[in-house]
Every structure is written in C-alpha cells, then in structure tokens.
Amino acid sequence: MNITELGRTGDGAAPPGGTEQAVLAAGLVKAFGEQRAVDGIDLEVRSGEIFGVLGPNGAGKTTMLRMLSTLLPIDAGHARIFGVDVAGEPHVIRQLVGVTGQYASVDENLTARENLWLFARLQGIPSSRARRIADGLLGQFGLEEAADQPIAQFSGGMRRRLDLAASLITRPPLIFLDEPTTGLDPRTRGQMWATIRGLVADGCTVLLTTQYLDEADQLADRIAVIDHGRKVAEGTPDELKTAVGNATLQLVLAEPAESPAAAEAVRRVIGADPVLSPEKGRLNVPLDQADLAADVLIALRAAGLSISSVSVAKPSLDEVFLALTGHGTDAEENR
C-alpha cells in the first residue's frame, strides 16, 4: 500500500484556507529559568517543502518543535500553522501537525500491529479500516517481519519507524520529525530518507531537525541553522555550502618537490590557489562544483605530475558552523 492509499483511508485534516505558509513564526522565545533555549526565532516553512533545522545538541531544536506543536507554551512571539494561531487554537493545531514522539506511550506488551491498530481506533477509525492502515504502514516502514512481536523486543531503529508510522495514521498535512535518523545505521537512515521524500511527494510538508549537514543537504529544500536558540543562517543547501566551499579535493603528490608545479596546474583549472603543505606534498583544492575534481586530476596528469592519494572531503556541520559563527559546534568550548 502506498501513502496515497493511506491518505484516502484516513480522515486526515486538510490544510485550511489555502495558506502558502505551513509555518509562520516570529520572535519565538522559550526560557527555562535564566536560559533562553529559544531566543527570538523567526521561521517560515512553505507548504509542500522539506524544511531542515540544523544545529548541534542543545541548540534549541526540540524546544522549538515542542512550542510549535503546542506541547510547550510560547513565552514570547507568535506562530501560525496553515494560518491557525498556535497559542489560540491548540486543538486545531494538533490535528494539523503529526509529531513523532507523541506516541512514546506505546504499549510494550502489545505488538507493533496491535499498537498501530489501537492508535487508529483511538482516532475514531473503524476496525477493518484501522487494520488496513496498520498493515499498510507496517509494509511501508519495513516492519512486516516484526509486526507480531511485542514492542519490548524492538531495536531503536524499529521503534523510530513505528513512531513515525503512528504519527501518520491520520495523515496530517504537516509533519515534525525531530532528528529522525540520529543513531540509525546507514541502511535504515536511507530508508527513512526515502520515506520522508515519499511523504512530501504525496503532498505533506515536513519540518525536520538534524545535527547532520549531509542529511539537511540531501533532504531539505531550505535550511535554518540554529545555535544557542538563535537562527544564524538560512538558505538553500547550496547557498549554505557555498558559504564554506562545497567540498575539498585533497591530493598528495608522489614527489613533494613538484608542489609548485602542481599548484600552478590547479590554479589554471579552478582560478584560485590551492592550500599547500609543500613539505608533505599535500594540496587541498576548494571545489565550487564537484565535477571540477576530474578537471584538476586531468590537468595534473597532463603536466606529468603523479599523485599518491586522492580524496574528496565534504564540509562538515562543524565547518559550516565555524564559517557562520566563528566557533565550533561543541557547546562546551563556547562557555
């Protein structure tokens, strides 16, 4: 069963009133004692996009999602979801937003299938349709084999998938995913990405948080980078990466003495100087476009220069942060 069929079987809330913005928030603040966990964030998520909130541990990501989903009161500022005021109409908001984590109270003694069926029943869906929805979601999330095991036996990744499945029962038009792949193995992570893309292809809007630049890069149409409760940058993945350079081609020359000749060959291709460590024969070449890597290698061969090792490094979240904020992502070093 695909997501579209699930949408037809559920009685999900449609976004009211044709608003272009799924989320429109201004000046959001949440304080815990002296600490402003969210410190004046403006956010606009457009209908139909995947919006990524990228930030290190403790940046305020979860707090922001909890405020937007009515789970935490908003101390200052205001937020609308599909035009509906979050503080003023929390009951409407809860029908518009699917939040993973809200079904953390799964019954450990029930199976995955029974839990999904029960959640659907609690939403007022008739029994046979609830069963079809549960079966469809179990298939979609690769939980068929484990469907009849008690949740108590589930791995972390399986729980995460069941949690997302449960939040989709009513097919809400906006889905919040709080670090959907943290701690998942690469294969499960890839499956989760495909699932998220499928949700959007089917008309959902997704607001997700992540600590991983590559995840935001792969999935998000636009990204807000947050740090200590504040937004420090916003843009498309390309715009953010351009701020730090897209990638670096790291070369080691077979003959360190050939560094100057290699630097000259590189300069002719990229129009800029590589970063040299001549004594070790190392050259780091910043690349605006990944396909320039091949041009650089061809130019070096044409110049008769041989290379003992080649790798391409992508900018990490740390590098993006350093470029944007002047400090790393480790919260301790900022104190």
Ligand X SMILES: Nc1ncnc2c1ncn2[C@@H]1O[C@H](COP(=O)(O)OP(=O)(O)O)[C@@H](O)[C@H]1O
Q: Provide the 10 A C-beta neighbour count for residue 308.
A: 11
Contact 311, 260 (CB under 8 A): no
Q: 181 touches which of ligand X, Mg ion, none (CB within 5 to 8 A by kind)?
A: none
HEC string of 254-288 equals: CCHHHHHHHHHHHHHHHCCCCEEEHHHCEEEEEEC
CA–CA distance, 262 with 185 (Å, rounded to integer): 39
Quote the least distance from Cβ 38 to ligand X, whole Å.
7
User: With respect to Mg ion, which residue has the nearer C-beta, 62 or 69?
Assistant: 62
- Nearest approach, Cβ of residue 37 and ligand X (Å): 3
CB nearer to Mg ion: pick between 61 and 80: 61
Among 62, 100, 140, 248, binds Mg ion (CB under 5 A): 62
Residue 100 lies near Mg ion (rule: CB under 5 A): no
Cα–chain center distance at 73: 24
| Residue 188 binding partner per list Mg ion, ligand X, none, with a CB distance cut-off of 5 to 8 Å that depends on partner kind | none
**If binding is defined by CB under 5 A, does position 111 make contact with Mg ion?**
no
Q: Print burial letters for 104-138: b (CB count within 10 Å at least 16), e (below 16).
A: eebeeeebbbbbbbbbbbeeebeeeebbbbbbbbb
What are the residues binding ligand X (CB under 6 A)?
A: 32, 37, 55, 57-63
Q: To the nearest whole angstrom, how small is the minimum distance from the Cβ of residue 101 to ligand X?
A: 11
Residue 306: name its binding partner from ligand X, Mg ion, none (Cβ under 5 to 8 Å by kind): none
CB of 271 to ligand X, least distance (A): 39
Minimum distance from residue 55 beta carbon to ligand X (Å): 5
Where on the chain is the footprint of Mg ion (CB under 5 A)? 61-62
